[in-house]
Amino acid sequence: MKHLRIRGADLWLMTCVRNEDDLFDAFNSGPDAVVSPFHFSDSDKALAEILELSDSFIPAVYVNKGAGVARRRKQDVHEILNKLYDLGFYRMCVLDTDMSLDAGSWERIADRFPSCIPFPGCPGGDIDGYGFESRVVPVRFRTSRR
């Protein structure tokens, strides 16, 4: 992953992390932070153990049709974020896969969790103006044609 680095920028890896063994494997490739879908984690206990090992792990809550994707079901995104916060996570990512969260939901998330990192699932997704400290901006690299 060294060839992917851009001087002055952190490199984040999004991958599946189910437990602490997966976390070690993910960090062996050299990222500054690891982002993983919340619903892939083995349990809340596994998440607590992961957090004990690294505060550079960021759980991502996927949103589809206005609901958060939890283990084996859908759940209110705010409930999931509250659970993660109660476990000790101060940075979380919300990946709105279909831009189905309304303005009121984004405002509630920004007010309660200003360190939450929004990730609009659609190019050009509008999440400006809610007061988040940072956000993920998808970058597409051009491939050179030879």
pLDDT score recorded for residue 10: 80
In sequence order, the 6+-apart residues with CB closer than 8 A to the CB of 14 are 34, 35, 36, 60
Alpha carbon 70 to its chain centroid, in Å, reads 13
* Pairwise CA distance, residues 82 & 78, whole Å: 6
Residue 43 is encoded by which pair of tokens?
């349990």
**Domain ranges for the chain:** 2-120
Closest to 63 (Cα-Cα) out of 101, 17, 104: 101
Domain 2-120: top CATH class: alpha beta
Cβ distance 15 to 9 under 8 Å? no
Q: Where are the alpha helices (H) located in the chain, listed in sequence order?
A: 20-27, 44-53, 77-87, 103-112
The pLDDT value recorded for residue 125 is 55
How many residues would you count in the chain? 146
pLDDT < 50 stretches in the chain = none
What pTM was estimated for this model as a whole?
0.85
> pLDDT value at position 5?
67
pLDDT at 9: 76
Contact criterion met (CB below 8 Å) for 30 and 1: yes
